[in-house]
Structure 1
């Protein structure tokens, strides 16, 4: 089974958990539709059928995901023209 990128999965989990807490506290209808959409997306992303199981699987996957690689900024060259490859 394909797995979603850990950063995407983390964003889905974080947003779902934050919005579901807000909906439980305020019963706002416009937020509840987004929560349902996120629940569906989490279920599809984790291959599960209910959101509680999806969250459990997502947390397990995130716990074993490799640490994100931090990309360093490309070196900047001031006052020089960068070489361009010759056409083949």
Structure 2
């Protein structure tokens, strides 16, 4: 897996959730393109080939970042 930046991954996850929800409520071609784009970015950023794998890998990135913060005594969510 790539050494993905946790803040970037968090941003992608937020975008993915937002676009997926909007697409499920009102599927348009524009939202499909946005969903495809953010899905591609998630896969590329996590070194995976499917959205399912990318989401699991992204969770791992965030879990490792949280563990590193707790080990260093920094409880801020920015890392």
- SS for the counterpart of 1:49 is coil
Larger Rg: 1
Task: Give the superposed CA RMSD.
Answer: 1.5
Report runs of 4+ in structure 1 exceeding 6 Å deviation: none
1-structure distance, mates of 2:30, 2:20: 12
Gaps of 5+ in 1: 70-88
Matched, 1:68 2:73: no
> More relative contact order in 1 or in 2 (CA 8 Å, sep 6+)?
2
- Report how many aligned residue pairs link the two structures: 69
1-structure distance, mates of 2:39, 2:78: 25
TM-score normalised by the chain length of structure 1:
0.70
Gaps of 5+ in 2: 70-76
